[in-house]
Structure 1
Amino acid sequence: MENVFFIGEGKVIMKTLHIHKVMAIAEVKFRALCGKNCIIMPIFAIGFTMMMRFLYQNMSGDGGSEEYLNAYALAMGLVMNIGMTGLYCISLMLAEEKEKKTLRVLMTSSVNALEFFVGSVLPVFLVTVIVNYLLMPISGYTITGSNLILFSIVTMIGTLISCIIGMLLGIFAKNQVSTSTLTSPILLLMMLVPMFSSYIEELKMISPFIFTGAIMDMVMHMAEQVSPALNIGGILAMIIEAVVSIALFVLIYKRNGYEKE
């Protein structure tokens, strides 16, 4: 077990994190993630990346750089995966637990809020990160050296932000149907703004300030051999969004717990 600080009831208190409880929750969450409603999301991201690669292969014969187009396929796949797997799956699983009344049972048992949070986020975070790496060979664009280190750090931070936002939205979702209603506007913002920023000038101005846009810009800068691959604006955007998402989650959790009536 490990003692950690956790914010609750308007003050900082000491919570005990029991690893065996976290792993038990993570195991349950992983099985839920493998269910038909969730597993389709990473599969869709992989299929989407593969489709974009084959589509762009035809374009490369018309004078486009194959490496650049493969990098674009990777960037779009990352945005899709981080949004749909990281955000949507977590909020959907939390809503499903509310429907089945298992959430109240967990929160009134010996499992504390921090253990539930870590156990819920861990499997989705790991699956999303693994798929992020799988998208490289699938897209045909490989990142190596120092760029791979930057890629790892930035995509992991982006995945964590997405997971926290998913938990936050899950608090407000009363059932699985309402999850789609709540998450759709956020997903559209996270995915469509970076994807269409190359074609619409207004979106190009907004995209760098969204963490998915910063990730997409980073990959494209690597393909163009632009240094630094991630500029100060992108770094600040990700830091601010990470802090804001954590602060909002803590605030909403303090008021409502994991369920908002």
Structure 2
Amino acid sequence: MGDAERADETLIPCFERMAPDEWFVGKDYLHVLSNYQLDVDNIMDLSHIDYLHSGTLGSPGSESAETEVRQEGDTVYSLRLVRNERLSPELEKRNGVEPGSRFDRWLDVRWEPPGVMELIVGRAPTGNPEPRNVGNAMYFFHLFTPESETTTHYWFAVSKHKSGGEAAKEAVSSDIQFLKKPFETEDLPMLEAQQRTMGCDADFWELKPVLLSVDGPGVRARRVLDALIKAEQEAAEVGQ
């Protein structure tokens, strides 16, 4: 996993919403048979929820999504807003909303290299020009650690502020159990099929992937990571 002497705790990203003194944090783990950068790609492009998770996390709306890619230093943001959306029946039930209600829903991802991500999912009654300023949000975390070139340790979490009391504590446990099924039975088979198709030794860019507009956030994260890896390798060569 690298040279332990070069570890710098000051570079660890700060995710305040995982602080256990103020937040209830539900956590779980999956072992993924794919390269960690494929796993990052999957979260950076959340248009996939509309078809891969159509019965659980998604709903028709990709064609109307407002998207933005933003970079601040080495941090990349993937911002996604779908207006006038009806949640899936499963999400309506879990969130206690009237069936058929319409919302503006956003899914905003913050990526920190090499594979640490915070996902903010929020919704507001449709019609407000700035729904992020008036709606409610939930917080999810995806942490990918490479085990090998083709396998990954995947920790995921959800948090709710302790001001919500016992109901918030119970909710994080329920949310984790709910999320694990689509992650395990829908995301993992797709990612592992990608890895098998690519093979064990192929370089991602040498495969000349066809890139779509929705791939912008993942491509930006890959470019940042490529530059960081190159800089580290060059520094190591100089130090030899």
Quick check: TM above 0.5? no
What is the TM-score normalised by the length of structure 2?
0.27
Higher helix share: 1
What is the TM-score normalised by the length of structure 1?
0.25
Higher strand share: 2
